Structure 1
Amino acid sequence: MSWSVLRLDEVAEVVAGNPAPQESGDFVEDGYLFIRMQDVGREHRTADLRTSTDRVGDESVSKYRLRLFPVGSVLIPKSGASVNLNHRAMLGCEAYVVSHLAVIVPNKEKLLPEYLYYWSLSYDPRSQAQTTSLPSLPLSLIKAALMPMPPLSEQRRIVDILSRAEGIVRLRRDAEKKAAELIPALFLDMFGDPATNPKGWTTAPFGAIGTLDRGKSRHRPRDAAELYGGAYPFIQTGDVANSGGRITGYTTTYSELGLAQSRLWPRGTLCITIAANIAKTGVLDFDSCFPDSVVGFLPGELVRTEYVQSWLGFLQPTLEANAPQAAQKNINLEILRNLPVPVPPLDLQNVFDQRCAEIFSIQTQQTTATAKAQATFDALLAQVFG
């Protein structure tokens, strides 16, 4: 049976939130939620938003004539960089909302809030956003969006199916997070906190336990087409930072000319970022070149790569927090070379290395399962909302 297709403003009220109070005294510790863009962005997508950084009291509500939005209101970014990130949220409790967010309040006689939320996940107006210095979505554009409108009974059935599928995705992601905590926990159990070295391991400078050098890309013009499109992988800072610890793919390659002005590092190299993203790491799954914003490490006889990578993982927040910043954060190679590394017995590192391999196998399975669950959910959304 075909369903009617209606404009969003025929079945819901579409408005903007309120301008944010500007004085520090306008906010209180124990007041009503005041939802800002970052509160939505922190969740990316949630059907139960109940937290905010800022809260307002009765005095501010009266002073600024703020509107309280009901449970089940759906929030869509309408101005700023968040428009391009497609964040979505549904209020799990009453809240005040900033004006950068469009608030959609469903007419519950025609539209279930949960059905509206799932529709919003399929609604992607980014190509229609007006772009000046920052993208913006006029409320008129959101109001005119078209929505398939089955009867409420059918909406309930659809919501039930989609919520089950989304629940599976959520469980898979939770399992991934728990798996990601296994290696740091194992490291602490076997070697202790590297910041305090409670087991009293002998230490050595990072630069003395293996080869530690910058990548190389002498030819600076980035539009030099003759350097690219060959057989030699070329990875950059973002590839390392987003690798999850294992660099398994690449999108850019060097030609013979590109290779001649760079250096090909072997599979198994530990890549360490030293610009923008500080001390993020990934192990190469293939031979590759990389620029001087990435440092490569090849272990000597005293250490194993997995051990060094995990050790750096504990130091990463401190290194990033203390990195000097001009146009972007960066750290000097000498800082890395002089870091004291606790060096436990090699046989203990070998045991750690083997257990890490087993954990990585579990993580790979978890990642695959999450991707399949997400694909199923996305397919269901597309089937319902086109």
Structure 2
Amino acid sequence: MKNIAIPSKNQWNIKKISEVAFYQEGPGVRAHQYRTRGVKLLNVANLQKGKLDLSKSERYISEEEAYGKYNHFLVDEGDFIIACSGIKVEYFEKKMGFVREEHLPLCMNTSTMRFKVLDEKELDIKYLAYYMKTDYFKKQIKKLITGSAQLNFGPTHIKKVDLILPPLQTQKKIVAALDKAQEIIDARKKQIELLDELIKSVFYDMFGDPVSNPMGWEVSKLEKCAPVKQNKKKNVQGEVWLLNLNEIEKNTGEIIEYREIDVEDIGDSTIEFNTNNVLYSKLRPYLNKVVIPKRSGFATSEILPLEPTKTILQKDYFVSMLRSKEFVEYISTKVSGAKMPRVVMTELKGFCVPIPPIKLQNQFTQETGKIELQKQIMKQSLTEMEDNFNSIIQKAFKGELF
């Protein structure tokens, strides 16, 4: 019995994904098996914005285990990877990507699944990838895991999922059309990245290297000008924003996902923050995760709620300083723990923050504010492009494009 109806405007077939693709879930590699070098382990955090980004983690297993016990979990160039656990439905299409040559060697781990085409004359792997972004796929998966707001599925679920399968040439036409639309979206994302680079350029022109301080600004220890603020927990009820590290984009501080949970479910190992704070990740400082929160919330205790002294330290200047290449490189050497490097708090608190005149810092905010405004306009445009893309992809699989 078919789970979906064949689109009415064509004679496309419907087959189970298992009939046309090989798929495999990653093994459950344990923490005691992790190494600081060897063969890198793939995990959910590596799948961001529809791409595979291995800078998101530093977990390895030994070459002996990778090429022995886990040899059949080593991925190949061209494999299609998805996250299959703990993902909100609306973010699923961002938690997937293709393996490229530069990613290798790479071993799968828990909560990830890979796909390979069984017969290239029948299925285009990129067609399958786009199909998994459609409502056709998501509705089937949601039906199979009824009762959960998040996607948690495995091979037994995939085995039951139907795939709309037009002729191979039609698949390739659909892929080409969607690739073109994706290129336009990627170009807009690149423009946004260039604006981020412009903000960095303005910072260096005005203030210089914050570590060597070549302009000779007065300095203040971080614990004095931006102390860790232990906010008092308010009598909050209902759902609240809980921020984890994997929900912060490296280098930009953009929030990838806002997650709301009931305040009763918040554990003891959390901190509370508000809009006066600058949030700084002390874990793996090389990932450069610094956030100016736009609203109050709670966060993992790996995040420090710093509170700049308003009379001498402007938040935009302070955040740009923390994100600067020189500071990130400096503080990344002041850590403890090989597997999970954390900033040594005495080193962070003792860092001498350059304090330019507040008038100059405010000027920086004004100039970068104009750039941020351009970014917001482009981000809005990007959202519209992505909405249009989603509309096109649904039409493509209804047979309304070809």
TM-score by length of 1: 0.64
The answer for the alignment partner of 1:25 in structure 2 is: none
Q: Distance in 2 between matches of 1:238 and 1:67?
A: 28
Corresponding residue to 1:116 among 128, 143, 159:
128
Structure 1 vs Structure 2 CA RMSD: 5.5
User: Aligned to 2:116, what secondary structure does the other structure show?
Assistant: strand
**In structure 2, do the counterparts of structure 1 residues 348 and 15 end up closer, same or farther at CA, with 3 Å as the change threshold?**
closer
Deviation at 1:35, TM superposition (A): 8.9
1:74 aligns with 2:80: yes
C-alpha contact (below 8 Å) 1:237/1:273 kept by paired residues: no
C-alpha contact (below 8 Å) 2:335/2:344 kept by paired residues: yes
Q: Distance in 2 between matches of 1:66 and 1:157?
A: 33
The answer for the alignment partner of 2:175 in structure 1 is: 159
The answer for the alignment partner of 1:187 in structure 2 is: 203
Instruction: Write the mapping of 1:345-384 to structure 2, written as runs, cut at 5 A.
Output: 345-384=357-396
Using the TM superposition, name which of 271-280 and 109-118 deviates more: 271-280
The answer for the alignment partner of 1:272 in structure 2 is: 279
The answer for the alignment partner of 1:304 in structure 2 is: 314
Q: Distance in 2 between matches of 1:70 and 1:235?
A: 38
Structure showing the higher strand proportion among its residues: 1
**In structure 2, do the counterparts of structure 1 residues 339 and 160 end up closer, same or farther at CA, with 3 Å as the change threshold?**
same
* Percent identity between the two aligned chains: 19
The answer for the alignment partner of 1:8 in structure 2 is: 17
C-alpha contact (below 8 Å) 1:241/1:273 kept by paired residues: no
Deviation at 1:194, TM superposition (A): 0.8
The structure that has the greater radius of gyration is 1
**In structure 2, do the counterparts of structure 1 residues 110 and 318 end up closer, same or farther at CA, with 3 Å as the change threshold?**
same
The answer for the alignment partner of 2:50 in structure 1 is: 45
Q: Distance in 2 between matches of 1:110 and 1:165?
A: 24
Instruction: Write the mapping of 1:308-327 to structure 2, written as runs, cut at 5 A.
Output: 308-314=318-324, 315=327, 318-319=330-331, 322=334
Q: Which residue identity lines up with residue 137 of structure 1 in the other structure?
A: G
Q: Distance in 2 between matches of 1:15 and 1:89?
A: 14
Q: Distance in 1 between matches of 2:106 and 2:278?
A: 43
Deviation at 1:162, TM superposition (A): 1.1
Deviation at 1:63, TM superposition (A): 11
Q: Which residue identity lines up with residue 171 of structure 2 in the other structure?
A: Q
The answer for the alignment partner of 1:199 in structure 2 is: 215
Partner deviation per Cα, 1:50-93 (whole Å, 9 max, x = no partner): xxx99xx9xx9899986999875534456x77999854334566
The answer for the alignment partner of 2:154 in structure 1 is: 137
C-alpha contact (below 8 Å) 1:72/1:105 kept by paired residues: no
Q: Distance in 2 between matches of 1:329 and 1:74?
A: 33
C-alpha contact (below 8 Å) 2:73/2:108 kept by paired residues: no
Q: Which residue identity lines up with residue 97 of structure 2 in the other structure?
A: A
C-alpha contact (below 8 Å) 1:270/1:298 kept by paired residues: no
**In structure 2, do the counterparts of structure 1 residues 106 and 310 end up closer, same or farther at CA, with 3 Å as the change threshold?**
same
Deviation at 1:361, TM superposition (A): 0.8
C-alpha contact (below 8 Å) 2:189/2:382 kept by paired residues: yes
* Number of residue pairs the alignment of both structures matches: 343
Partner deviation per Cα, 1:91-148 (whole Å, 9 max, x = no partner): 56698885664332142333233322211333444774799xx96612x542442111
TM-score by length of 2: 0.62
**In structure 2, do the counterparts of structure 1 residues 201 and 103 end up closer, same or farther at CA, with 3 Å as the change threshold?**
same
The answer for the alignment partner of 1:178 in structure 2 is: 194
1:342 aligns with 2:354: yes
**In structure 2, do the counterparts of structure 1 residues 351 and 142 end up closer, same or farther at CA, with 3 Å as the change threshold?**
same
Using the TM superposition, name which of 190-199 and 291-300 deviates more: 291-300
The answer for the alignment partner of 1:227 in structure 2 is: 236
**In structure 2, do the counterparts of structure 1 residues 106 and 174 end up closer, same or farther at CA, with 3 Å as the change threshold?**
farther
C-alpha contact (below 8 Å) 2:47/2:83 kept by paired residues: no
Q: Which residue identity lines up with residue 229 of structure 2 in the other structure?
A: R
The answer for the alignment partner of 1:23 in structure 2 is: none
